[in-house]
Structure 1
């Protein structure tokens, strides 16, 4: 399954170096959850991601506060694509199963 959506990049911990994430829209999260089969550790789901010209394999992780999933966006991707905190990016996400 594959989805394309936009989401805002945010810092997990605003007090220094931290991970950057984006939150999947709830309707996408529901479909990912329904189609994921048996989740990996911590309820994560393995995915392929494309932002701009960068493609990588990672996992999305459940976010109890929102009922969605969080997608980590590593520094090398942010640097390559010129992404800063608060930017809205277009994401193509595909489950690996």
Structure 2
């Protein structure tokens, strides 16, 4: 395919526990998700910085996860923050998904713990 990547088109409709309905469609026309979140730290064996998906995006990701996960709920994505593009995998945790922010991405964009950051995510199918 001469270096071209293949991305699935996924349409999901959901209803939240509050009764709000919505539809999201993942296509080749741009990012599947875009949201703004605070940079948080998880202190495991090594501290790491993350963005946590908002409720609506978390519900959509939970719906499409069975179609795109490579195991344990991990979803491979390409992310864009500012002018920096990166690849990573997001994973489910307590009803949300956590987006790891690599040191190189944070340094490139001047991101620090507690900053509000807008990220665009495209699922790599």
TM-score category of the 2 structures, normalised to the smaller one: 0.7 to 0.9
Output one character per residue of 1:6-51: Cα deviation in whole Å (capped at 9) or x when no partner: 001011129xx61111101111121122223152232111111100
Match of 2:64 among 35, 42, 50: 35
Corresponding residue for residue 49 of structure 2: 20
Structure 2: unaligned runs, 5 residues or longer: 1-25, 27-31
TM-score (norm: length of structure 2): 0.69
Cα RMSD (Å) of the superposition?
1.8
Higher relative contact order (CA 8 A, sep 6+): 1
CA contact 1:32–1:95 (8 Å) conserved in 2: no
The aligned length equals: 94
Output one character per residue of 1:29-82: Cα deviation in whole Å (capped at 9) or x when no partner: 211222231522321111111001111111111112xx0100000000000000
Tell me which stretches of 4 or more aligned residues in structure 1 moved more than 6 Å.
none
Structure 1: unaligned runs, 5 residues or longer: none
Of structures 1 and 2, the larger Rg is shown by: 2
